[in-house]
Each structure stands twice: as structure tokens, then as C-alpha cells.
Structure 1
Amino acid sequence: MSKDVEFGLDTFGDVTLAPDGKFLPQAQVIRNVIAEAELADRLGIDFFGIGEHHRTDFAISAPEVALAAIAARTRRIRLGSAVTVLSSDDPIRIFERFSTLDAISQGRAEVILGRGSFIESFPLFGFDLGQYEELFEQKLDLYSAITSNRIVDWQGNWRPPLKGQEIFPPIEKGSLKTWIGVGGTPESVTRAVRYDMHLMLAIIGGDPQRFRPYVDLYQKLVAESGRVAREVGVHSPGYVAETDEKARRELFPHFKKIRDRLGQERGWPPVTEVDFEREIEHGSLYAGSPGTVARKIAETVKGLGLSRFQMKYSAGPMMHENLLSSIELYANKVIPQVRNLLA
């Protein structure tokens, strides 16, 4: 764990409710996300991430465009994806988009690459789900070649070879900070070490300490490779209100709506209030008063040896005003308490 742990926020641009109880247009949700990022920057939060989706319940399909708008309206906060679905995208275009974002933001861009737990981008862009693993592996190899070399020579099965190719625009200073998103497979940990990238653990359910073996594996492989250890982070859902009771009362109906919607697609049973309480008490849902959330984050940071904690603050159709309040409490009360607990 680094001495100065970073604290971030993530959103998928969940389509939220208006005060009249109707869903907002996706265009308005995107504008609200930009406002939420501006608030996070003003409050001193370290990172703001936007996930990529292509479906009715999430508004953002092109994170880099939204991040560029945010970059032009913020001063210090780092900006990145959460995640970029590499398997159904083009590594060259990913680099070009994020190197452009890096230029606009004056060096604040990051990428979190993942295979994606949502698969709608594969048929949308004409990729075969049967090549799920092969596409990710080969595209990651090409992406790594682009970020490691000014002139790229590369050959694989999914596209014609590259010979003496330069990719524009180059990163102005240093390199493009890249994380590998890990949902729970040792192969993903191995990739992070092989390609010398940071490790982001996506822990969206169950005891976060069950991911300790992945951190241990990462440290073991780093030591064996002779590389310098990179950062280890966690992405998990959360919501902060003035009291535990208020946070649970406000969050549960929205938590249930989004989990049940996904459950219908994936064969999960409907979420009960008992399930919800269990995730708060013993799982990976960081919901409650500032003190409750701070203590839980501190336990996770210490238990896993983290360099960064990112809270997925958007919560299904919960209203924009509630999200702004949660961001303020996270920045002004949770983060200072976590730092005190870690000191």
C-alpha cells in the first residue's frame, strides 16, 4: 500500500429519475454526470471514472467524449474509464482517444481495460463471443505494444499486421497510465504483471477480503518477474448519507431495481432486504453514514494493501440530487476519516 492512498468515484451514467418520478432523457443524464465530475474536482477527489455500456439503463456509450468535456471544465482530478471493453474495441483507437484526452486534460488521463461483464458490445460491433478470451489477449498485446513503443511492429489473427507504424497523437509527457480490471480470475492478475500495468479489482459482491489471494498472487508474480510493483485498486458500489438508516432507506429501492433487472438477464433470484443488509454488513456495499463507510473502506484498504479505492456512487435510478449529496459527504467526511484511520 502506498503512503498516500487515492480516492476515486465511478459511474456508469445510470439513467436516473426526475423529481416527478419519470426517467430523465439519457442526454440529461450525461450532462448531470459532467456536473457530478465538476463537483468531485472542486472537492478534491483524486479520480473520476466512467464506464462504457450500450443499453437502455446506462447513458454513456462513449466515455472518452464525456471525459473530454469534463477535462475542459476541471483542473486537477484524474480522469479515466471504468472500464473500457477492450475485446470489442480497437486498441489503436483506444490509445488515440485517450492520448487526445490526456492532451486536453494536461496529463490527467487513465485507462482501465477489461473484458466486460456486459456483452452487448460484441454483437453491436460485430465480434464473436466465442473469441472472448482470444480477442482480449491479442488486443491487450497490441495495446501494450502501442504504449511501450514509438514505432509499432505487431502481428496477430484478428487484423492485418502493423509494420513500422506510428500512432498519433503521442503522450506528451511520460506514459498513459493503464490498469487491468480484474473480476476474479488469476489469469487477469497474470496479465497485469506480464504487461506491467496497474491492477484494479472489481469487487461488486461478497466479502472484499476474499480477493486477498489475488493480491498475494500479484505480489508473488511481480517479485518473480523482477518488475516494480504497480498500484492495486478496488472498485465497489457505495452510497453515503447523514445516517445509516437514511442511507439504507434511500438506497434500497434503487439497488433492488438495478440488481433485479440484471438478475432477470443472468438468472439471479430477486434481491431481498436481507440480501441488501448482508452486503452492507459483510459484503462489498459501502453504504451508510460517513463514519460507517469510512471504517469499511479503511478495513478494505488495509486488508488488501490498496493504493486506490474507487466508489461506484451511481445507484440505479437514484436522483441526481442524492448523488451530489453522496459525493459531498464522501469528499468532505468519508475521505478525511479514512485517512485518519490509516494514519
Structure 2
Amino acid sequence: MTDHSTLELGLDTFGDVTHDADGNRIPYPEVIRNVVEQAVAADRLGVDFIGIGEHHRDDFAVSAPEIVLAAIAGQTERIKLGTAVTVLSSDDPVRVFERFATLDAVSAGRAEIILGRGSFTESFPLFGYPLAQYEELFEEKLDLLARLLEEGPVTWEGRLRAPLKDQEVYPKTAGGIRTWIGVGGSPESVVRAARYGMPLMLAIIGGDPARFKPYVDLYERALGQLEQPKLPVGVHSPGFVADSDEAARELLWPGWKLMHDRIGGERGWGPASRDQFEGEADAGSLYVGSPETVAQRIASTVRTLGVDRFDMKYSSGPLAHEHLLHGVELYGGVVVPRVRELLAG
């Protein structure tokens, strides 16, 4: 039997630009302050982790998640603070380390990094990186960041940036920074995480979560063959909690459709249907409903995949701050203890 006693239950948000009661867009500064308020509530209620996404487009307010996380750190005591995700391909590994080492200091050791290539590409032209080097940029920068995380003198050479020779980077941390690799479903990415000895975060945003079990098994086999220690595996999936199943679905549906239709229009997909939404809510990777419904579905996924963390992305499109905050309160106050009870039983 798998021991779930160390399971971590977290929340993620991309800082979606929300609407007020009259359907008007909330200004970016207010959205960011609301994200801080939601994270403070999560800390108070015992949620283990808050992840803030990085985006560079008009429907998301957060482009510098480490600054938002530092603001959260100043108002919280225990919750772990990380990204969902840091787009390493279009960033500089030295600056990534420096920013997170600083966040780790101000939060007394609570900083985490979740690295990814990102599902959006706006950051590449914005920071002057060619999309043609999408894969190579991530691989090379990950290699350098892995060396920096050792916190010793770094001698390193790659093809896409200047080399380093016996370079120290500051500030040093008190105990290192746990750094995950976010994976959307590529076996090569799973093996890469094992090769670098980093925990694996699976982004499961659609379909039956059980289809990701082969990736968990692959990661564990790769760790063994590479003589790496057992490392955590996490899941990131969307969801939303309200007082009842009906209320949760009716509140989430308009924003969910708006977001999917916008992204789908950019990527050549057809419009999202209500049947698609209901299917994901019933048996897919959309954890929407009453606290009991969401808890039961999270517990089922944790059992099926044998993961060590579950992070629910609780924001979706323009869903109002008052509903997001209430959802955070239900997740921390009811869902988290209920999941632990179900798994203990």
C-alpha cells in the first residue's frame, strides 16, 4: 500500500484577468493584489503550496511571479511558494537562480521552482529568442541552472550563451531550492527530469488522469537506471470548488469556455462545447464541484498515479475574485482535510 501521509496539496493560479459583477475587466494591479489575498487565505487554511504562473499576454496579469511570491511571503508563515511555471527557455538561468535564492531568503526557505518550456510562446520574441531554438534553449539553460543549483563555483560552456569559468553566484541559500521539471506528456521530458535528478510535475489538463500512469512508471524506472534516489511526482490540473456541484459548474463554465475558445482560436481548434466541459468534469481532468466531489476525485487520482503532490489550478478565465476566494477557502478548509481522510482510510 502506498503511504500518502506526506502528500502535499497545493493550488496554482495564472493570475487570470477577472471581471466584476457588471462584466467589466478588473485592472491588472487589482488582479495581482487579489492573487496575494487568495494565497494568504490558502496559507491560513493549511494549503501546502501556492504556484503562480508566468505569462506575457493580456489575459493574465502576472509576468513576474517571483515578485508576487515575495509579496505573499511577507504575509504568510508556512505555505511553500513557487512558479507554475518558470519559462526557462526565454529566461537567463543565472537570474532565475538569483531571484529564487532571494525569494528563498525572504520566505525562510519556502521557495520552489517549477521549470517548463511554457505552453505559450509570447516570451520568445519579447526577450529576443528564436522559436526555432525552442528545444535547444531549454536543454542548454536547464543544464546550466542544474549546475548553479549546486551553489558552488560554476565552470560551464554551451552554444547559445557566454561560458562561465569558476563563477560564484549569490546569494547562497540556507538549504538549497527544490526544483521541479514540468512535463506535458513527452517521454523525453520525463527521462530528462530523471537525468537531472529533479522531481517531476505532470501537467494533466485533459482526459483521464490514469493515462499518465505510464509516465510515472517511466520516471521511476529512469531514476533507478540512473542511480538517482526516489523523487517526488506531482500533478497540476484545473478545477474549481463551490458550495454544490451545480453551482461550481455553472460558475466555471462561462469563463472556461471563454478561455478555451480564445486559446483554441489561436491554435486552430474548434469552439469548446458544454458536452466537452461536462465530460471533463465527470471523468476527465477538471476537478470541479462541491468539496466532497472534488476531494473524492483528487483522492482517486492520487491513488491511481501514486503521486506525492496534487496542485489544483483554481482560476479560469474571468471568474470573479469573490468566487475564487471562496473556492480557496473551501479547498483549504474542507477539501484538503477530506482528501487526507479518504487516503488514510
TM-score range, shorter chain: over 0.9
Secondary structure of 1:94's counterpart equals helix
Provide the secondary structure at the position in 2 that maps to 1:148: coil
Residue number in structure 2 paired with 1:264: 265
1:295 equivalent in alignment to 2:308: no
* Aligned pairs, number: 342
1:90 is aligned to 92
Partner of residue 67 from structure 1, selected from 66, 69, 75: 69
CA contact (8 A) 2:241 2:291 kept: yes
How far apart, in 2, do the equivalents of 1:37 and 1:98 lie? 18
Structure 1: segments with no counterpart, 5+ residues: none
- 2:320 partner amino acid: M
Cα deviation for residue 19 of structure 1 reads 2.2
Quote the offset at 1:159 in angstroms: 1.0
TM-score by length of 2: 0.98
> Over aligned residue pairs, what C-alpha RMSD do you find?
0.8
> Which residue number in structure 1 is paired with residue 275 of structure 2?
274
Measured in 2, the distance between the counterparts of 1:113 and 1:202 equals: 12
Q: Is the 8 A contact 2:151 2:172 kept in 1?
A: no
Task: Report the equivalent of 2:147.
Answer: 145
Q: What is the aligned counterpart of 2:117 among 93, 115, 122?
A: 115
Secondary structure of the residue aligned to 2:298 is helix
| Equivalent position of 1:156 in the other structure | 158
Equivalent of 1:80, from 76, 79, 82?
82
Aligned to 2:8: 6
In the alignment, which residue of structure 1 is the partner of 2:54?
52
> In the alignment, which residue of structure 2 is the partner of 1:134?
136
SS of equivalent to 2:149: helix
* Structure 2 residue aligned with 1:233: 234
Aligned 8 A contact 2:248 2:289 in 1: yes
| 2: CA distance, partners of 1:70 / 1:335 | 21
The residue aligned with 1:195 is 196
In the alignment, the residues of structure 1 paired with residue 289 and residue 161 of structure 2 have an alpha-carbon distance, to the nearest angstrom, of 49
Rounded to whole Å, the distance in 1 between the matches of 2:158 and 2:213 is 34
Q: How far apart are residue 3 of structure 1 and its match?
A: 2.7
Given residue 54 of structure 1, which amino acid in structure 2 is its aligned partner? H
Per-residue deviation, residues 243-298 of structure 1 (Å, max 9, x unmatched): 11111111101110111111100111111110000001111000001111111101
SS of the equivalent of 2:182 reads strand
Corresponding residue for residue 319 of structure 2: 318
Q: CA deviation at 1:21?
A: 1.6
Q: Encode CA deviations 1:45-80: one digit per residue, 9 max, x unaligned.
A: 000010000000000000001001111111110000
* Secondary structure in structure 1 of the residue aligned to 2:171: coil
Distance 1:244 1:18 in 2: 23
In structure 2, what residue type is equivalent to 1:204? I
**Distance across 1 between alignment mates of 2:251 and 2:177:** 38
Q: Which moved further from structure 2: 142-151 or 113-122?
A: 142-151
CA displacement, residues 186-221 of structure 1 (integer Å, 9 cap, x when unaligned): 111111111110100000111111111100000111
1:326 shift after superposition: 0.5
Is the alpha carbon distance of 1:149 and 1:98 closer, same or farther for their aligned partners in structure 2, counting shifts above 3 Å? closer
Q: Quote the Cα distance in structure 2 between the aligned partners of 1:224 and 1:25.
A: 51
Pick aligned residue for 1:18 from 11, 20, 29: 20
The AA in structure 2 aligned to 1:334 is V
Cα distance in structure 2, aligned partners of 1:41 and 1:180: 24
Residue correspondence of structure 1 range 203-242 to structure 2 within 5 A: 203-242=204-243
Look up the equivalent residue of 2:188 and give its one-letter code.
Answer: E
**Secondary structure of the residue that 1:52 maps to in structure 2?**
coil
> Unpaired runs of 5+ in structure 2?
none
Whole-angstrom distance in 1 between the partners of 2:128 and 2:149: 26
Shift of 1:20: 2.4
Alpha-carbon distance in 2 for matches of 1:16, 1:237: 16
Distance 1:317 1:256 in 2: 10
* Offset of residue 149 of structure 1: 4.1
**1:179 paired residue number:** 180
**1:124 and 2:126 aligned:** yes
